[in-house]
Structure 1
Amino acid sequence: MSRPASRNGMAIALLPLIAILLGLGIWQVERRAWKLALIDRVERGLATAPVPAPGPAEWAGIDSEASYRRVRITGTYLPCRTKLAQAVTELGPGKWVMTPLVTARGFTVFVNRGFLPEGQTLPDCITTSVKPVSISGLLRLSEPKGGFLRSNDPAANRWYSRDVAAMGQGLAQLAPYFIDADRSGDGWPRGGMTVVRFSNNHLVYALTWFGLALLTAWFAWRAWRGRGAA
């Protein structure tokens, strides 16, 4: 007795789905390898001594590979150009204090001086004493546009992400990154609060896709053998 054409068609129709599921599983395996390499690179970078922050000649080559690199810079703050970006930390809600620093090398870079909890205020920028400082910390890429479901509003000076290009409108030779400053004391703003954590669930996702591919292959085999549901 010949196999019903409908069952043959079902088995054949499932083949592309099996290929897609296998492809998704392989993609997650590759993503896992990339994530493990990223974690290893960042952990090794955090353990190294700070290097000079990238200057204008190096900006074109800055990408995600540069994130969390330990850097150092010397310059003078522009306190009256400080921006406060919304933050939620282990200490509760507050703001990141983002202040541009004119470096001794001639360019400007935003420094995240640290966390300022709600209820705390900064000194009046007009009366703040300005003198050269040396900063070390982590290089971070700019965060354009805004936070989750909230867009930055430069006109109202409301910031939900650390978008250095928007924050630094009008500043000359502005770096496309910012620096999360190391902690330098117990006062406010408090540096050194960068959370370096990467989720790595790619193995679970890969096993899920491979499992679905195996299950689909079993259904296809049953249909081809004529024992599956019509």
Structure 2
Amino acid sequence: MKRGFLTTLVFGLIGFAILIALGLWQMGRIPQKETEIAQIEAMIYDAPVALPLTLDPEVDEYRPVRVRGTLGAAELHVLVSSRDFGAGFRIIAPLTLEDGRTVMLDRGYVPTAAKEAARSMGDVEVVGNLQWPDERDRFIPQDDPVANYWYARDVTKMAQALEAAPILIVAQESTGTGILPLPVSVAAIPNNHFSYMVQWFLFAAVWFGMTSLLLWRMRARRG
């Protein structure tokens, strides 16, 4: 019985220490993530620059750019939901720049009823942010290019469909009547470390309580 009591005690202390360590790790991640988000926010609202000739998604994500070019007639419709306006579509269009490159422009949101509506094209000057969204996971349905229903902004796949470079610029301002811009912001960047910290500390408290109860019962049986 004594050996079993000691084994339970050691196992309980090890589990409690692991859970506390995980909680402390999440606590340490909070200021780190807040710093990362602050840096991203500063980049988003920095002065726009000309689109560089070479881009690195790791370095240039969220970089503001100013481009001039011609909007093409083709467009992709990516299903999205706006908190204020409900379900609709992001309009992704090819933009041929003055230097000859064709990139993609996320023009913004239109309601479902306007999916097939005619939209302005031609020459535009746009300020937007570079983005390579990571929206695809195993729960996202497969896109239907024939019906022009896309369920995630997959830059590589969209670029192939539009015969453009895998470069997506998300417009900061309206690029046409009836199109609501959905500019890049830090609101979409998750920061769940505080809730994770609380969860690990609660698990530690429950583990400590259950271990203490088990040890008390073992000692009571010995008595």
**Do they superpose with TM above 0.5?**
yes
1:137 maps to which of 113, 128, 141: 128
> Aligned equivalents of 1:106 and 1:168: distance in 2?
16
Aligned to 2:221: none
- The answer to whether the aligner puts 1:153 opposite 2:141 as a matched pair is no
Shift of 1:68: 3.0
Q: Alpha-carbon deviation of 1:78?
A: 1.9
**1-structure distance, mates of 2:89, 2:209:** 55
Using the alignment, how far apart are the partners of 1:186 and 1:13 within structure 2? 64
Mapped contact 1:116–1:188 kept (Cα < 8 A): yes
Q: 1:145 Cα shift?
A: 4.3
The residue number in structure 1 matching 2:79 is: 86
Moved more, 3-12 or 180-189: 180-189
Matched residue, 2:193: 202
CA deviation after TM superposition for structure 1 residue 189, in Å? 1.9
- In structure 1, give the amino acid aligned to 2:174: S
Asked if 1:28 is matched to 2:21, the reply is no
**Contact in 2 for aligned 1:147/1:161 (Cα 8 Å):** no
- Kindly report the root-mean-square deviation, in angstroms, between the aligned alpha carbons of the 2 structures: 3.1
Residue type of the partner of 1:87?
Answer: V
Partner of 1:101: 95
Amino acid at match of 1:180: V
Q: 1:195 Cα deviation (Å)?
A: 5.3
**AA at the equivalent of 1:210:** F
Per the alignment, residue 110 of structure 1 pairs with 104
1:5 is matched with: 3
Structure 1 unaligned blocks of 5 or more = none
Q: Of the candidates 157, 177, 188, which is equivalent to residue 178 of structure 2?
A: 188
- The match for 1:37 is 35
Q: Is the 8 A contact 2:88 2:111 kept in 1?
A: yes
Query: So what's the TM-score if we normalise by structure 1?
Result: 0.77
Select between 89-98 and 18-27 the one with higher mean Cα deviation. Answer: 18-27
What's the TM-score, normalizing by structure 2?
Answer: 0.79
Shift of 1:202: 1.7
Structure 2 Cα separation of the partners of residues 31 and 73 of structure 1:
37
